[in-house]
């Protein structure tokens, strides 16, 4: 049976090499690159790659044979007990962070809210600072058969928002634009929508979204894309999301990401 670290290289070598390159430990040999990386994590004069893995994993508290240690390490990174599934998950997302759980610095997007309705809430809010964050992404799964999602920024309910959409409703393609008093995912009734808000400092705020509305069984009634605007140059400090009437329905899910700063 191959050593687990050897099969790692053979199943997804490019993924591992990409990862090593990103760590400035690449080169022509995966074996040499990985050994060099493990030296940066505490391996001392390892004679083989296996010895390098053994030293680093021992220093992190893993015990038993090298196979035992690697299996436990895979599980800690993939959440799956060692086996083909764990190996596959590991190969495809080589979480080779040997710093004992401390993640590498990342600047991208982080989840700042993840709301699942119990059916009793009339709104949910997120406090933000768009002059710092600059960008938000909102995913919505709406279980309501009647209500669409509205998003109000900084409690502004004046007619300071606008949209332009393209919808395909049961085979009829239409478009329209208007000024309104909210951002919406207006055709995600019993549907799915994703909205991006771009919020440069000192600029009005612009948005893109795509959305659909499911009817029954395998029938999607409506799909569409849309551009929206909040005609205000102030920093967004609050986003309040609510159904257009009444409460959310149970199972409605809203997940919000902000750019990491």
Site for another protein in 170-229 (CB under 8 A): 170-177, 179-180, 191-194, 196, 198, 200-204, 206, 208, 210-214, 217-229
Min dist CB 250 to another protein, Å, is: 9
Residues 230-249 that bind another protein (CB under 8 A): 231
Part of the chain binding another protein (CB under 8 A), chosen from 33-41, 45-53, 103-111, 238-246: 103-111
Binding to another protein by residue 124, rule CB under 8 A?
no
Which residues lie below 8 Å from residue 41, measured CB to CB, with a gap of 6+? 56, 98, 99
Which residue carries 């994993």 as its tokens?
57
Three-state SS at 153: strand
What Rg value do the Cα atoms of the chain yield, rounded? 25
Binding to another protein by residue 160, rule CB under 8 A?
yes
Cα 195 to Cα 26, 45, 168: the distances in Å are 38, 52, 18
Three-state SS at 205: strand
Number of residues that bind another protein (CB under 8 A): 93
Binding to another protein by residue 161, rule CB under 8 A?
yes
- Nearest Cα residue to 186 out of 154, 206, 210: 210
Binding to another protein by residue 60, rule CB under 8 A?
no
Min dist CB 1 to another protein, Å, is: 19
Residues 31-50 that bind another protein (CB under 8 A): none
Part of the chain binding another protein (CB under 8 A), chosen from 39-47, 52-60, 123-131, 137-145: 137-145
Min dist CB 45 to another protein, Å, is: 26
Contact predicate 21/29, CB 8 Å: no
Which value, to the nearest 10 degrees, does the dihedral of the CA atoms of residues 107, 109, 113, 117 take? -160
Min dist CB 90 to another protein, Å, is: 10
Binding to another protein by residue 109, rule CB under 8 A?
yes
Contact predicate 124/113, CB 8 Å: yes
Contact predicate 67/54, CB 8 Å: no
Cα 3 to Cα 7, 48, 95: the distances in Å are 6, 12, 18
Q: Output 48 or 119, the one with its CB closest to another protein.
A: 119
Among 30, 49, 56, 96, binds another protein (CB under 8 A): 96
**H or E segment and range at residue 183:** strand 183-185
Part of the chain binding another protein (CB under 8 A), chosen from 9-17, 38-46, 53-61, 63-71: 9-17
Q: Output 35 or 213, the one with its CB closest to another protein.
A: 213
Binding to another protein by residue 146, rule CB under 8 A?
no
């Amino acid at each position: 049976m191959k050593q687990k670290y050897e099969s790692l290289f053979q199943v997804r070598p490019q993924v591992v090499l990409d990862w090593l390159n990103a760590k400035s430990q690449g080169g022509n040999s995966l074996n040499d690159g990985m050994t060099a990386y493990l030296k940066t994590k505490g391996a001392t004069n390892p004679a083989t790659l296996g010895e390098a893995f053994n030293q680093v994993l021992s220093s992190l508290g893993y015990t038993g044979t090298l196979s035992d240690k690697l299996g436990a390490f895979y599980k800690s990174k993939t959440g799956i007990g060692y086996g083909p599934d764990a190996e596959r998950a590991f190969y495809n997302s080589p979480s080779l962070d040997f710093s004992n759980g401390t993640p590498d610095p990342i600047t991208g997007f982080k989840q700042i809210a993840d709301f699942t309705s119990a059916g009793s809430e009339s709104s949910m809010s997120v406090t933000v600072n768009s002059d710092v964050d600059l960008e938000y992404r909102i995913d919505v799964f709406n279980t309501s058969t009647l209500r669409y999602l509205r998003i109000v920024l900084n409690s502004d309910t004046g007619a300071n928002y606008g949209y332009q959409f393209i919808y395909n409703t049961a085979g009829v393609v239409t478009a329209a634009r208007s000024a309104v008093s909210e951002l919406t995912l207006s055709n995600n009734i019993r549907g799915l929508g994703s909205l991006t808000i771009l919020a440069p400092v000192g600029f009005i705020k612009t948005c893109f979204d795509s959305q659909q509305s499911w009817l029954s069984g395998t029938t999607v009634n409506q799909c569409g894309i849309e551009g929206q605007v909040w005609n205000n140059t102030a920093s967004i400090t609050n986003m309040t999301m609510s159904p257009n009437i009444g409460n959310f329905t149970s199972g409605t899910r809203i997940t919000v990401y902000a750019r990491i700063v």
